[in-house]
Structure 1
Amino acid sequence: MTSPAAFRDRTNWSGGYYELAIEVGSCDDAEIQAVLSALWSAADVHGCFGLRDREPEEQDPVPCTVGSLAEFGHLLGQVRLPTGETVVCGCVAVRGGDESSDWLDFYVPAGALDRAGLAYWNGQPFFRSAVMDDWLATIGRETFTRATFSLGVVGFEVSGCSNAATLAGQMPNERSIGYLLPVEGALHYGAANTSSSRSRVCGSR
């Protein structure tokens, strides 16, 4: 059976993405780089690569930089889940242009989660995993201690679901996704607390 950490197995990368999406709060490359470096370290990602069609041992590592993201589109690695399984993971930048802030989306594909045996659906009409939510929120908190950001959102395909300007420092009372919201310099986490999820995918790749 193929490992959920195998790059070459396309099914590991399929099915959508469980994400920690971070609104950096700036379009400045130096600030984006600071969050990227902090995020990669906080998640304890093994390696940093640019190609999905080669295993890590078959390709040279690339720098974990904004430049590499621009060159390859995604940065790829392997990460250990709280359950102990090692899976493929990645990060993509969503650049907002001069008039809005940029995002960094750290993700584990659903295909790899399936192969690792981590339940995130359980027959309900939505995708959610308390294990993944708590783990990604912890990564977000650790990232924030090293490089602050405007907003983090946690869940299945959450990129673009909200932004700091819309929230204006107020945590939603009803949450179909998790929020990492800075208020007066402190990061607050509001876990998903509704019995349903969004009816559409919020972001795109």
Structure 2
Amino acid sequence: MTSPATFRDQTNWSNGYYELAIEVGSCDDARIQAVLSALWSAADVHGCFGRTDREPEEQDAVPCTVGSLAEFGHLHGQVRLPTGQLVVCGCVAIRGGDESSDWLDLYVPVGALDKAGLAYGDGQPFFRLDVIDEWLAAVGTETFKSASFSLGVIGFEVSGCTDASTLAGQLPRTRDIGYLLPQGDALRYGAANT
């Protein structure tokens, strides 16, 4: 079995994404760049690459920028999970255009999580990894210290499942996913509780 940190093994990139999706709060390149830089640093991502068909040592690094996201679609790297395992990870921007705000998603593919031996679900009604939820919440909280944002959501493919205006500053009482909701200058974490 190959390592969950191997780029070239496409099974590492399979079966969807477990993510921290951040609603940036505007469609401004400078804002999304600030969040991207803070997010990459907070997660301590190793490297920044445009391709997954070559190992990091077989390709040149690309700048961790909005321009690279536009050019490659996704940025890729490796991140150390709280369990100590190094796995592949990525980031994608979902640009909202004039009508809504941009989203920036940091994700670990489920294929890599499987190879890292992380069990998900654990009999819960929704796909969930509590240890990864807590880690992504900490990453989001650290990101917010350097680059504020409107909302963060944590879970399996959660980007765009709600938005800050829908929540109107209130955490849902029952939560299938995790929420990072700004309250003044602080960020409140509401863990999934269903």
Say whether the fold is shared (TM-score over 0.5). yes
CA-to-partner distance for each residue in 1:19-51, whole Å, 9 max, x for gaps? 000000010000100000000000000000000
Which range moves more in the overlay, 98-107 or 124-133? 124-133
Residues 98-150 of structure 1, C-alpha deviations (whole Å, 9 max, x = no match): 12100000000000000000111235442101100000000000000000000
Q: So what's the TM-score if we normalise by structure 1?
A: 0.93
- Asked if residue 23 in structure 1 is aligned to residue 15 in structure 2, the reply is no
3-state SS, counterpart of residue 135 of structure 2: helix
Alpha-carbon distance in structure 1 between the residues aligned to 2:6 and 2:121: 23
Instruction: Report percent identity of matched pairs.
Output: 80
Is 1:187 aligned to 2:187, yes or no?
yes
The residue number in structure 2 matching 1:162 is 162
Alignment of 1:99-178 (within 5 A): 99-178=99-178
Cα deviations by residue, 1:69-96 (Å, 9 ceiling, x for unpaired): 0000000000000000000000000000
Contiguous gaps of at least 5 residues in structure 2: none
Partner of 1:59: 59
Which whole-Å CA distance do the structure 2 matches of 1:79 and 1:186 have between them? 26
The amino acid of 1:98's aligned partner reads D
The alignment covers a number of residue pairs equal to 194
Three-state SS of the structure 1 residue aligned to 2:12 is: helix
Provide the secondary structure at the position in 1 that maps to 2:47: strand
AA matched with 1:126 = F
C-alpha distance in 1 between matches for 2:125 and 2:164:
28
Q: Normalising to structure 2: TM-score of the pair?
A: 0.98
Match of 1:43 in 2: 43
Where 1:158 maps in the other structure, the secondary structure is coil
Q: Give 5+ residue unaligned stretches, structure 1.
A: 195-205
Q: Give the equivalent residue in structure 1 for 2:75.
A: 75
Q: Is the 8 A contact 2:126 2:176 kept in 1?
A: no
Secondary structure of the structure 2 residue equivalent to 1:162: coil
Query: For structure 1, which segment, 46-55 or 184-193, has the greater mean C-alpha deviation from structure 2 after superposition?
Result: 184-193
Residues in 2 aligned to 1:121 and 1:32: alpha-carbon distance in whole angstroms? 32
Query: Is 2:18–2:107's contact at 8 Å kept on the other side of the alignment?
Result: yes
